[in-house]
Amino acid sequence: MQKELEAMRTALVLRNYATRTIDTYVSLLRRYLEQLKKPIEDVMPTDIQEWQFSLVGKKVSWSLFNQAVCALKFYFKHVRNCEWSVELIPFQRTRRRLPTVLSRDEVARLLEASRRNPKHYAMVATLYSTGLRLSELLSLKILDIDSAEMLVHVHQGKGGKDRQVQLSPQLLTILRDYYRACLVKPTTWLFPGARPDIPMDPSGIQRMITIAALKARIDKHVSPHTLRHSFATHLLEDRTDLCTIQAILGHSNLKTTGIYLHVATDHLKSVRNPLDHLPTVGAPSSGRSR
């Protein structure tokens, strides 16, 4: 098994996959190989589909199921160079739900609920003002805050891509206040963990936002990603075009960004309904026709 795992890791590294993706794919391949009861060279699509069916029976999440599909497709195509088509390994479809979005008033209340702790306040403000993913927030370094150009540099975001987002003057003030309030000044990471040389643990931020949402009396499930959704939705309501929002969020596909068209209520209200703009035809008669 170890030989197969090392070959998988090597193939992923050579193709410049992100470190987190490499670790995930290798882990999922290990999970598959551990239950395999025949030599790997004898595996056919029906064998993989049987394993997939067992995953469905265990009620694994949609995302984990499809990550496993991606991992196995990569392995059988690029490592084993199998003769059969990897397209025979099916993905699992899911019903797409609209994201949870906070109103502007709810965002203000969430910020107010976290204000007493300068670090918590700065993290909530950064998530909302930049639309960063939680992993991207944790990877921010002090040098990524470019006050001269008023930009935030995001290095190796999802898919291993770099991008830049706008640095709000108000966010810059909040970050400077946070830095001044730190007894032990951050030297590398903008939001260090218990030790200054390591980033903060993601579970700590998730827990902090959950508590702040309760204090703010927000009757919604609020997570760090909710602030990203809210940021994008509010940009759209302010008439920012979808392509710009796509670039800011770091989406590879415009379809992903397009989901915010369904939740931007101000945007929907501005649409001219065709029924309201038909030629005047007179009001319907309330009496019986003769």
- What's the pLDDT score for residue 266? 64
Hey, is 271 helix, strand or coil?
coil
What is the end-to-end Cα distance of the chain in Å, rounded?
86
Q: Catalytic pick from 77, 80, 215, 225? A: 225
Q: How far is CA 52 from CA 34, 74, 191, in A?
A: 14, 16, 40
CB neighbours of 65 closer than 8 A, spacing ≥ 6?
Answer: 52, 55, 56, 92
Q: Which one is catalytic: 73, 120, 229, 251?
A: 251
Cα–Cα distance for residue pair 56/51, rounded to 1 Å = 9
Question: What are the structural domains of the chain?
Answer: 2-88 (1.10.150.130), 104-269 (1.10.443.10)
Catalytic residue among 109, 228, 229, 234: 228
**Annotated catalytic residue within 25, 32, 128, 260:** 260
Specify whether 251 is catalytic: yes
pTM: predicted TM-score of the whole model, two decimal places: 0.69
Confirm whether 228 is a catalytic residue. yes
Q: Which of 133, 178, 229, 234 is catalytic?
A: 133
Place of tokens 């759209």: 236
260 is catalytic: yes
Q: Sheet containing 151-154: which strands, arranged edge to edge? A: 145-146, 151-154, 163-166
Parts of the chain with a pLDDT under 50 = 289-290
Contacting residues for 48 by C-beta, under 8 A, at least 6 apart: 32, 72, 89
Catalytic residue flag (residue 158): yes
CA distances from 59 to 41, 52, 88 (A): 28, 11, 22
